[in-house]
A and B are shown apart, each in its own frame.
Chain A
Amino acid sequence: MSVLQALDIGLAFLVFAVAAWTIFAPGAFAATVGYVVYGLLLSLVWIRLFAVDVALTEAAIGSGVTGVLLIGAAARLRAAETAGSEKSLSGSPRLLVAVLCVLVAMALAGVVLLLPDQGPSLAPQSMQHLPETGLGNPVTAVLIAYRAFDTMLEKVVLVLAVVGVWSLAADQYWGGAPGEARAERPEPTLAFLAQILAPLGILVGIHVFWVGADAPGGAFQGGAILAAMWIIVMMARLTEAPQTEAFWLRLALVAGPVVFLAAGVAGAIFAGGFFAYPPGFAKPAILFIEAFMVLSIAVTLPMLVAGPPRREPRQ
């Protein structure tokens, strides 16, 4: 057994142990912290699968932004947890569920073991057409060129999620701002962290977006890092979330999908196919679309974390 194999087995065991902790931990807060740890370990696993783009997404969204969302929720729901003595499944139903889940896991594991060593692959095709897009990163090419429609609809899903979250607001708060108000005296340590982190993070976010054309990275990852920076500034309460009725906010939320769709329609008119890019002009078009996607993601994720409006709209 090589050192690398031993490392892989150790990592797998660690992932399993932390995952089991998030399921069986005694309290919700302990479970959510476990989930944050788990997300970080998962990005290590993605590195071992040589999927660096995915590792970057998992690190930024799976661990970072989701962690903020869940830890915030767990801290707020602590009162509910102690008040409600909820019946946990027990006795034979619990055993039945456990057996069912073991069977599902074993069936899946069987499928995994039966997979051929060299599976069918679209990698040759995606590399073959890569020069036409002008990009160097095939994953970005898949996202914005080969499967552009898919990615565009996924942006629509994000907008719908924001609409869903906002529609949970109480009537009088509709159009108001979510989250905490700006603090007169912010917690000094948190403010210090946010003030140093945010400029650096904005730099890193734009860098990740920009290199995404040719190296691991891209609009999702860059946008998620930018989103995280807005979240930390809001958490430090140096600034407050905008009014949800603000026109600029709504414009920024839909800019990504709208520009993407417009580019798709333009492709149908000028390049002979829906979401086709004119030859020789593909890379600028892709970067143009991506820039608006970064903007939309950087605005959408903080709005999803901030939750529904909780203050009355200012006139």
Chain B
Amino acid sequence: MSLVVDLFSVVAIGAGVFFFLAGTVGLLRFPDPLSRLHALTKADNLGLGLVVLGLLPRSESLLSALKLIAIWALVQLAGATAAQLVGRAVRRKGTAA
């Protein structure tokens, strides 16, 4: 049983790390702020989401599992709104920002 849980964690967390990597590569490679913003949100949503998914079966109690999900949801909210706010600031200033 624990082997299955471990395997699940390894796959999910590994996939999460991949999205963090992809987000960073996007940050490095994309030419303008808006597309860099797009790359960044991938790390927020999928990267952390998959890491949380991988940690879920390892949590000690139901409350801590719920907290993990809440953390992910809050980061989603923060990432989405911050991307909106920053994106709007970029557009207001033109492409120079």
Contact = CB atoms under 8 A, between A and B. Distances in A.
Let me know if chains A and B touch directly in the complex, using CB atoms closer than 8 Å: yes
| Majority secondary structure of chain B interface residues (helix, strand, loop or mixed) | helix
16 contacts: A187-B85, A189-B81, A189-B84, A189-B85, A189-B88, A190-B81, A190-B85, A192-B81, A193-B77, A193-B78, A193-B81, A196-B77, A197-B74, A197-B77, A200-B70, A200-B74
Contacts of B74: 197, 200
Interface of A: 187, 189-190, 192-193, 196-197, 200
A187 B82 CA distance: 13
Interface residues of B, number: 8
Contacts of B70: 200
Nearest to B83: A189
A92 B92 CA distance: 44
Nearest to A191: B81
A58 to B, nearest CB: 17
Interface string B58-94: 0000000000001000100110010011001000000
A236 to B, nearest CB: 10
Given A187-B85, A197-B74, A200-B74, 13 more contacts: A189-B81, A189-B84, A189-B85, A189-B88, A190-B81, A190-B85, A192-B81, A193-B77, A193-B78, A193-B81, A196-B77, A197-B77, A200-B70
B92 to A, nearest CB: 11
Residue in B77, B78, B81, B85 with the greatest tally of chain A CB atoms within 10 Å: B81
Nearest to A201: B74
A63 to B, nearest CB: 13
Contacts of A189: 81, 84-85, 88
4 closest cross-chain pairs (CB), A and B: A193-B81, A189-B84, A189-B81, A189-B85
Nearest to B88: A189
Contacts of A196: 77
A217 to B, nearest CB: 13
A177 B47 CA distance: 43
